[in-house]
Amino acid sequence: MNDYLMDVQPRSLSELAQQSNKLTNHLGRSDVPQIQLPIDQVADQTRKLAAGHLRAGSAQPSDARAHYFLANGGIDAAELAETINAANIANTFEPLQPVYDTDVESYLKHEHEQVILGAIEEGRRETLNDFHRNLDRTMHRDWERQKRKILEELGQHQPSSAADRAGDFDLARSRSGFGASTSAYTLSQSTGPGATFGASLGAGGGGASMSQMHGKMVRYEMVVSRLNSSRLEGYNLAVAHAFMDAVRGLAEDPKQKQLHDCWQAIAHIVREQDVRDGEFTTKAIQERQYASAYVDPANWNGVEGVSLRRNIVDGAKAYLEEQFLAHMEQTIAARPVQAQRGGVPTNRSTVGAYLRVQHLTSAGQWRNDLAKELDQQTGTPLWATIYHLLRVGKTSEALDCAADNENRIRATDPSFLAYFKAWADSPERRLPRLLRDRFVAEYNSRFRSIPEGHDPYKLSLYKLIGRIDVAKKFPTLLASSTENWLWLQLSMVREALDDESDAQDSVRDRYTLADLGAKLEKYGEAHFDPKGNRPLHYFQILLLCGQFEKAVAFLFSRSVHQVDAVHFAVGLAYYGLLRVPSAAASSQVDCLSIEQDAATGQPIAYLDFAKLVQRYVRLFAQSSRRDALQYLYLICLNADAPEPVGSEQVQRCHDLIRGLVLDAHPTEFQELLGDLRTNGVKTPGFIERNLPLIRIKDEREFLSTIVKVAATQCELAHRTESAILLYNLAGERDTVVAVLNKELGARLTEPSSSSEWQSGGLTSGASFSAAGNLVTLASAILETYEKQFGYTGRNRDTCRCLLELKKGFGLYSDEHFVQALQTIEALRLLPIDAESRKDIVAITRKAEEFKEVDENVARNLDAIAIMTMQTLYELHKALKESVHRSGTAAMEQYRAQARALMMWAGMLRFRMSSETYSQLTRLDVFIH
């Protein structure tokens, strides 16, 4: 080893390391582990050894070996040690110019620079660490979101519990039924929307949750089918109440009860009243009644939009008032002794009983700030009574209560009753200009400066009546619950056109439905549902504030409520309260998109309803295509949207329907699209019976828009049988035969047997989809076309020729050589009949004629020639080996036919492969 080191003197530690790696190359032991240390680790170990040496105080025996080893490498250890010891790094961070003890300014400047450098270094290090932490957190969050979206696109949504995902999914696939048999649903097989989709949207709670989910989906589908039927028959269905009835049976579960309440909220918003058993008893809500005012941004910003927004606010308040009245009844029923309602209950006595439960102490005392004025009838705090009557929507009764206590009110508020009456008599709940100015002045003088100690209900009544300080909070006592807070916010909302003369509302007092929506978005779900276990609560809040698209998108983001989200979208789309984006503006993944209104610059939310429906029907479409179609029909509800959105929605619906058809088995075409049978009778399918739902005028448009396009796509995808059936249904007879010719030509040489020709074929009136093979289908189509429509032409002749050739190949495959030869000879395609082979001129003419045959026949030239020559060879061989040799004349005929075939093949030699011609020559030699 020493000799090796002496031969090659390394000039650096790196070269020394490279050479040291070669020292063990001559060892063949692979079990000896290798120690790989980089230079910096070697240097670190060297410093440790040196430190140990200095601590020991005396030279170790290894020092001599180290010096000797380094000397062999050309390194002077002694000189290197002296250089290292002479190095002084103590002054590395000292100032370049010496700082004297008396130079305070220079010392402070140096220290200042060092502090700055230290702060910069520390900031850089913290920034780098924060960057890496944020990057990891963001990448994880984005990946989780993208993963959920990808799984959603694949139709494999995860349940809410990770531990239940696999089990729930397998459970759903193994279930065979989930409820009562209705329409397409049966107990014997998994059909309908709930059969296969429930697991991927389930709550992850085991079999009971899965069963509940399935049952809900069945109930929803029944409503959707009923909705489409009503649209076809021309009457209006109370959709919100119909869905409400669908989930009413599930209302025993508190979560499902809240679902029922959400549908009830929508019914109030759209003013869907006077409904019994799902049918209107008086004036009905029309399909897309609010679409004109809501969907078009221009109308939304105009008079129609203002009117609709006011209706939304009034409907939302009416729901909250009805809900609060029910809450008061429940509270009183829970504590009837303390409530002391007694007698015939009225709204006023109910409010009084509720106030006793809420505010009366065990000692029978009222709070000091509430006990100043009491209602003479109920003995409860007067201002609280008036407020709660307003809270439950009983404005006239609140006014009567104030009038009954006029003397008590005048003692402290002499003008309140006049203000209150003017406010209550106004349809828009606003004071006249003059009265409002006086009212605001009185409010400022009495309540603004010293609000402490005032009755909170009295203060709130003044704020509501005068619509004062809309940006400031109401007393905590009144806004203790989300519902109360929301009612107060809606009460302060005022919708008006920008150019309306509303000078009494200053800029700071303007508070619209959009402003309330922005406030909700600012607060977010975490404010209203901190634990995140009540998504329907936040969803309902968004609904009541008119944030319909955001509400549905939020609910759809929760896997346990995706089924509900889809059907809320259905209901809103039916009433025209859902905006859908254009194709250019829609997101590739998300259903919700936000655009800026060109006129106002305000953000407008759009929900991709078609994508929502597509994702919902994707999994159960395979098991129940009729149910899937019921949902796809609903996409055309948005056909009245401003262009180009309306046309795009119709096109989107047609595309999805065609996709559903293309995924179907050919035997299902009859049910979905209809059928044209062998006797020429046409029967309509499920889609054709519902053409008005997908904005198709008549049968002609249906065939060209749906059937023909689907047939073309099947042909491009090489689904020939499906293409043939669809083209046949579309009445494209020549195209049907052309596709048949193409398929027969491509499959001409495939193994087949004569049994295909021995079957009885299709009976009269049978469906073409019942054909068991291509030959039977082609024969039935040709026969029907010729008898029913007198079909003729080049394609018909080519098809007949291909069928006979296919028959010949089948006979040859079954070794029926005589019949096979007779079949080919009868075609007069080859020069093997007596007339075609009589001389060279006839054979030449036959070769020229073959150049004009259809491409589907011509492409099989090699196979036809080989099969015919092989047949002649087998027949000639059989006669030649016969004991009696009784077929001499026949043998001569076979030789003549083979000779003519060879001459004919020679004339077409450049149209066939050399291998084919060589094989023909070899067989011809054997025959002769």
Nearest Cα residue to 505 out of 378, 497, 479: 497
Residue with tokens 């059989």: 878
Regarding whether 425 and 324 lie in a shared domain, the answer is: yes
Q: Six-digit token pair at 794? A: 């080049």
Question: Phi-psi category of 558—alpha, beta or left, where left has phi over 0 and alpha has psi -120 to 50?
Answer: beta
User: 402: burial class by Cβ within 10 Å (0-12, 13-18, 19+)?
Assistant: buried
The H-or-E segment that residue 186 falls in is none
Contact 366, 381 (CB under 8 A): yes
CA distances from 213 to 89, 112, 175, 564 (A): 75, 69, 13, 10
Q: Would you say the C-alpha torsion 565, 569, 572, 578 has a positive or negative sign?
A: positive
SS3 content of the chain, % helix, strand, coil (to 5): 65, 0, 35
- Split into its structural domains, the chain has a count of 5
Domain membership of residue 141 (yes or no) is no
Distance of CA 121 to the CA centre of its chain: 48
Regarding whether 670 and 805 lie in a shared domain, the answer is: yes
Predicted local confidence at residue 609, as pLDDT: 96
Helices first, then strands: H and E counts in the chain:
45, 6
Regarding whether 846 and 735 lie in a shared domain, the answer is: no
Domain membership of residue 221 (yes or no) is yes
Contact 99, 106 (CB under 8 A): yes
Regarding whether 675 and 637 lie in a shared domain, the answer is: no
CA distances from 902 to 890, 909, 926 (A): 18, 10, 13
Q: What is the model's pTM?
A: 0.74
**Cα–Cα dist 572/543, whole Å:** 10
Regarding whether 424 and 331 lie in a shared domain, the answer is: yes
Regarding whether 462 and 381 lie in a shared domain, the answer is: yes
Regarding whether 820 and 756 lie in a shared domain, the answer is: no
DSSP state of 673: H
Regarding whether 417 and 366 lie in a shared domain, the answer is: yes
Domain membership of residue 157 (yes or no) is no
Whole-angstrom Cα Rg for the chain: 45
Domain membership of residue 109 (yes or no) is no
Contact 684, 673 (CB under 8 A): no
Mean pLDDT by 10 residues, the chain (928 residues): 45 67 59 60 71 53 67 76 72 59 74 83 86 83 71 48 34 29 31 48 51 84 95 91 86 74 94 75 83 93 93 96 94 90 86 92 83 88 94 94 92 91 90 88 80 80 90 87 94 78 60 92 88 90 96 93 95 96 87 86 92 91 92 96 94 94 87 86 90 93 92 90 91 93 91 66 79 87 89 92 92 91 92 87 91 91 93 90 70 90 89 88 87
Q: Which range of residues forms the domain containing residue 414?
A: 312-496
Nearest Cα residue to 511 out of 475, 462, 560, 545: 545
CA torsion, ordered 508, 511, 512, 513, to nearest 10 deg: 140
CA angle at 163 for the pair 157 and 165, rounded to the nearest 5°:
25
Secondary structure class of 276 (helix, strand, coil): strand
Q: What is the DSSP string of 731-785?
A: T-HHHHHHHHHHHHHHTTTS---THHHHS--PPTT--GGG--SHHHHHHHHHHHH
Domain membership of residue 620 (yes or no) is yes
The last residue of a domain, from among 781, 810, 839: 810
Tell me the pairing of strands 682-684 and 275-276.
unpaired
Regarding whether 405 and 489 lie in a shared domain, the answer is: yes
Regarding whether 792 and 769 lie in a shared domain, the answer is: yes
Domain membership of residue 142 (yes or no) is no
**Cα–Cα dist 567/543, whole Å:** 14
Domain membership of residue 132 (yes or no) is no
The last residue of a domain, from among 475, 496, 517: 496
Predicted local confidence at residue 656, as pLDDT: 95
Predicted local confidence at residue 362, as pLDDT: 79
Residues 6+ apart with CB under 8 A from 202: 159, 168, 172, 209, 210, 213, 559, 560
The last residue of a domain, from among 480, 496, 512: 496
Contact 757, 807 (CB under 8 A): yes
For residue 530, the number of C-alpha atoms closer than 13 Å in the C-beta half-sphere is 1
Say whether the peptide bond before residue 451 is cis (omega within 30 degrees of 0).
no
Residues 429-465: b if buried by 16+ CB within 10 A, e if exposed: ebbeeebbeebbebbeebbeeeeeebbbbbbbbbbbb
Regarding whether 793 and 688 lie in a shared domain, the answer is: yes
Residues 6+ apart with CB under 8 A from 385: 348, 351, 352, 355, 375, 378, 401
Domain membership of residue 161 (yes or no) is no
Secondary structure class of 835 (helix, strand, coil): coil
Predicted local confidence at residue 530, as pLDDT: 86
Regarding whether 476 and 344 lie in a shared domain, the answer is: yes
**Cα–Cα dist 626/629, whole Å:** 5
Distance of CA 274 to the CA centre of its chain: 36
**Cα–Cα dist 926/928, whole Å:** 6
- Backbone torsions φ then ψ of 835, nearest 5 degrees: -70, -40
